[in-house]
A = this chain, B = another copy of it.
Amino acid sequence: MTQDNKARERDRLAALAMEVTARRGVEVTPEILAGESGLSRARIDAIFPESSNLFDAVAERWFAPHIEIMEAVMASDLPANRKLYEFFARRFVHQRAYFRSDPDTFALLCDLGSRRFERVRSYIDLADHYLCELIAQAQDEGYFAKLEIDEALSLINQMVVAYTMPDMLMMLDDRLSEAKLGAIIDTLFAGLSGSDGGARGRSSLHAA
């Protein structure tokens, strides 16, 4: 079997695993996958030798549309504020569509992801990598003054976390909207900098 065929079979089985997860509402084991695919258990084990390999193949399918979205946004000729909005909004809308079409499977897959967080870490790192590029472009355009890129990265990630973290989507769905995300990105471009605006202050509380 060629490497190409093997990659295709791996991806086909990952797709089947996601479909079976949705249908049965449980994590798919190699044993279940063998039964569902009609392949022998030995064949499944040859394609997914480590116990984490099947999970990795499913994660790869899960994040493929996210990567496609990020790459399209990065390759566009938009100004930084429009790019930052599209960077978050398109993945949010994609994720919300999946969630709304099948909340139980979404919750199950997210739970599997958070229990194997170290296996999805590289996708989050990739998003951070692109976000750093966007921040550098924004700073070239005069925004986010007096902030190191990684300071801006952390603050932006925290201020939009309601639109990126699947747990937040499950809790807040109907409170989240593209319009609000747009207002948040506008707020960042109008107000985020390394200047001390004084909110932390130096004085303690005095009763009025």
Contact (Cβ within 8 A) A205 B175: no
**A182-B199, A195-B186, A199-B84 given as contacts; is B77 within 8 A of A207 (CB)?**
yes
Interface secondary structure of A, over-half rule: helix
**Which B residues lie within 8 Å of A185 (CB)?**
197, 199-200
Q: Which of A119-139 contact B (CB under 8 A)?
A: none
A176, A192, A195 — most chain B CB neighbours (10 Å): A192
Q: Does A32 contact B (CB under 8 A)?
A: no
| Integer count of this chain's copies in the complex | 2
Q: Does A1 contact B (CB under 8 A)?
A: no
Bound state CA distance, A84 and B200, in angstroms?
9
**A78-B205, A154-B175, A207-B75 given as contacts; is B183 within 8 A of A189 (CB)?**
no
Q: Does A103 contact B (CB under 8 A)?
A: no
Among A22-30, A38-46, A159-167, the stretch in contact with B: A159-167
**Interchain CB contact (< 8 A) of A199 among B75, B77, B82, B193:** B82
Q: Which of A168-197 contact B (CB under 8 A)?
A: 168, 171-172, 175-176, 178-180, 182-197
Contact (Cβ within 8 A) A158 B182: no
Contact (Cβ within 8 A) B207 A179: no
**Which B residues lie within 8 Å of A203 (CB)?**
78, 82
Contact (Cβ within 8 A) A77 B187: no
Contact (Cβ within 8 A) A200 B77: no
Contact (Cβ within 8 A) B175 A81: no
Q: Does A97 contact B (CB under 8 A)?
A: no
B-binding residues in A (CB < 8 A) = 72-73, 75-78, 81-82, 84-86, 89, 154-155, 158-159, 161-162, 165, 167-168, 171-172, 175-176, 178-180, 182-201, 203, 205-208
